[in-house]
Structure 1
């Protein structure tokens, strides 16, 4: 019969190895108890982990879509605010025109001209609104200021003066006082209006694109998220404002001034209608965006539920295993301590 010895050092090292492994396992179990998921999903799931990865990618895609939708929402909200300012400017001009209808008093007409100039400036400022460094009413030309200002040096001013002088020369009209109602109506409808409804608008006033920005708000849905300054609502406002500014205060007969006033009212009312239609279009986009966000939230919850089903652990079981492991580690500590105290000196 042969016996062999086992040193206490070897036993201590074995205990240390057991404790180290136990501590690593304990960290994993603590994480699983806290998160309710596998600490190492790849190792735990094996081939099934590919499904988990796919679901997580889908969750990230939905989260990214929700973030971009938040930007679209802000863009639409800012556009609606600008359109509301523009609509109020149109109402201001209409109110001023109604108040001066049939009035030939120079002082009153000058006050009206100042009011209309102010409304036009407010309108142009709203049309040139920016969001995150982009012009909202430039269509896809977001880096270009869409609407020009109207002043003494503007192209629109020069075009009006040229059109007026050419018309007067062609029709033998010596002074503004010599305009008849028929001639004024003809001048407005055949000379001035085409400048605002036709291609000259792009030269004198607008640098915006007719093509608006379209934003994807869900996997299969795209909405219009901006507008532009080439819509009839904007064109007719500018037309009404310029006619009022340039003609109401001129030395016209009372009947001709009334004709100018009525024509300007007609254009500004068309402008209000056009602006409301544009606002309604963006309003539809806002409603669709809200529904899309609701749908995305529901999809995120469903995907997250599937991920939890795949990666989820039994927290109670993990907690039980963790407590058992803690007990095991404590026992190992105790045994290691006792082994360290073993010495032949104690038996001599």
Structure 2
């Protein structure tokens, strides 16, 4: 029986250690050949991580700005869509109700009142829209529908205007309710969100709440028109015609204010797009700089990889001869 000496064992351990080292080198060179980047970052930067750390930090900040900009763009776009839906649901109602010819008969006033009711309900629904799980018009209360349902609001308005005997008195009562009770009874959202930080010194306001003056004016005009379908000033044809025309004027005013609001949002969208383009360009430049620091010669890595693989094959042959066994047995 052949004996195993300490020298034999030392030689075996040395061969195994060398094999492990070569296998690790193959893995490193394979990665560098495929990616073109140094597998050992410390070796690539010579132990000085200052520049690389600065680049990595800048990229992290830009990625955070990008996330905020994407969310701001999503919310702004969603808000614009909701406002466009409100425009669509209202259509030419303001013009029709403010036109004496269109309110010349009791039946025409009744019809316009029903149309105003439908537009009011659709507007409340649009204002309760959410995008990406976040309420658009609820401010900081992102998980809450900002407005009570249309029936609840109209019920409160019927109670508030119950004592009105003329169109003028009813309009005043509606104005008072929106000024004092709207936020307590109808609005369930929070304060306006803080501007989104989308750059080192760039802030973008993407939040519009249902308490915005343009929104309130729209709801006010539609509510006055909708009250015509709720029995307001019943039996007083002239007063109901007057109320219809007052509602039409309020709706038109709300339309003008919504147009201004959408223009402001559009300007913000344009500025946000420019910021996103600039941030993307900066990310590309920083990634190129990082690649320059960590890049390796893929051809050289491939040559060294082939040489290392040859060394492994030679090691297997030497080991087999020293052990007096086949390469298959060794493996």
Pick from 192, 197, 219: which aligns with 2:200? Answer: 219
Aligned to 2:104: 103
Q: Number of residues paired by the alignment?
A: 315
From 270, 277, 287, give the equivalent of 1:304: 287
Contact between 1:55 and 1:307, CA under 8 Å: does it hold in 2? yes
Q: CA deviation at 1:298?
A: 0.8
- The structure 2 residue matched to 1:229, chosen from 192, 210, 214, is 210
Q: Name structure 2 gaps, 5 residues minimum.
A: 1-5, 326-331
Q: What is the alpha-carbon distance in structure 2 between the residues aligned to residue 8 and residue 209 of structure 1?
A: 79
Whether 2:155 is the aligned partner of 1:154: answer yes
Deviation at 1:308, TM superposition (A): 0.9
TM-score, scaled relative to structure 2: 0.83
d(CA) in 2 for partners of 1:116, 1:190:
19
Q: Which runs of structure 2 are paired with 1:24-35 in the superposition (5 Å)? A: 24-35=24-35
Displacement of 1:154 in angstroms is 2.8
User: SS at 1:142's partner residue?
Assistant: coil
Give the C-alpha shift of residue 59 in structure 1: 1.6
Give the structure with higher Rg (CA). 1
In angstroms, what is the RMSD of aligned CA positions?
2.9
Gaps of 5+ in 1: 1-5, 169-178, 343-348
Query: Contact 2:140–2:190 (CA<8 Å) still a contact in 1?
Result: yes
Do 2:128 and 2:145's aligned partners in 1 also have CA atoms closer than 8 Å?
A: yes
Tell me the residue number matched to 2:328. none
Which segment is superposed worse, 95-104 or 40-49?
95-104
TM-score, normalized by length of structure 1? 0.79
2: distance between equivalents of 1:193 and 1:109? 21
1:2-57 deviations in whole A, cap 9, x for unaligned? xxxx9677655544433322221121111111111111212442432232233223
- After superposition, what is the alpha-carbon deviation per residue over 1:212-269, rounded to whole angstroms, capped at 9, x for unaligned? 4421122211111120122232222222223223358732344x44433332221111
Residue 100 of structure 2 contacts residue 245 of structure 2 at CA under 8 Å; is this kept in 1? no
Map of 1:49 onto structure 2: 49
Q: Structure 1 residues 202 and 19, CA, compared in 2 at 3 Å: closer, same or farther? A: closer
1:87–1:276 Cα contact (<8 Å) kept: no
Whole-angstrom CA distance in 2 between matches of 1:241 and 1:12 = 91
Deviation larger for 293-302 or 67-76: 67-76
1:193 equivalent in structure 2: 175
Aligned to 1:115: 115
For the 8 Å contact 1:215–1:225, the answer to whether it is kept is yes
Tell me the residue number matched to 2:221.
Answer: 240
Measured in 1, the distance between the counterparts of 2:47 and 2:39 equals: 16
